[in-house]
Amino acid sequence: MLFMLTNRTRAGLGAAQYEELATLAKAFYASIPADVKIRGEWAAVDRTHNITLLEAPDIDTVRRIQAPFEPFTETAIVPVVAIAGWSAN
């Protein structure tokens, strides 16, 4: 299944919290679960949020891998399908 994740950094994080967030992100990218694939990533120019197109077996997997970031980000997870014009593929 495909999921669109929008992660917005929580307001008011201190330097230590940003450092912890960076450590979590580096650890995630170093060991992405085998059943999870990143299909694309984008960041807002102002760095306030990022968007990821993720392939995972189910939404529970996405919630599990997103959970460590919860103290630092507000995340919207939306299951999506590819479309061509007006029809879903």
pLDDT tens digit sequence for 29-85? 999 999 999 999 999 998 889 999 999 999 999 999 999 999 999 999 999 998 888
- Report the C-alpha gap between 20 and 24 in whole angstroms: 6
CATH number at residue 59: 3.30.70.1060
Task: Give the HSE-up count for residue 50: Cα atoms under 13 Å, Cβ half-sphere.
Answer: 13
- Report the C-alpha gap between 40 and 51 in whole angstroms: 8
- Report the C-alpha gap between 30 and 53 in whole angstroms: 18
Instruction: For the chain, state the CA radius of gyration.
Output: 14
Tell how strand 83-84 and strand 37-43 pair up. unpaired
Number of folded domains that form the chain: 1
Expressed as residue numbers, the domain containing 74 is 2-88
Residue 26 pLDDT class (50, 70, 90 cuts) = very high
Whether the Cβ atoms of residue 77 and residue 13 lie closer than 8 Å to each other: no
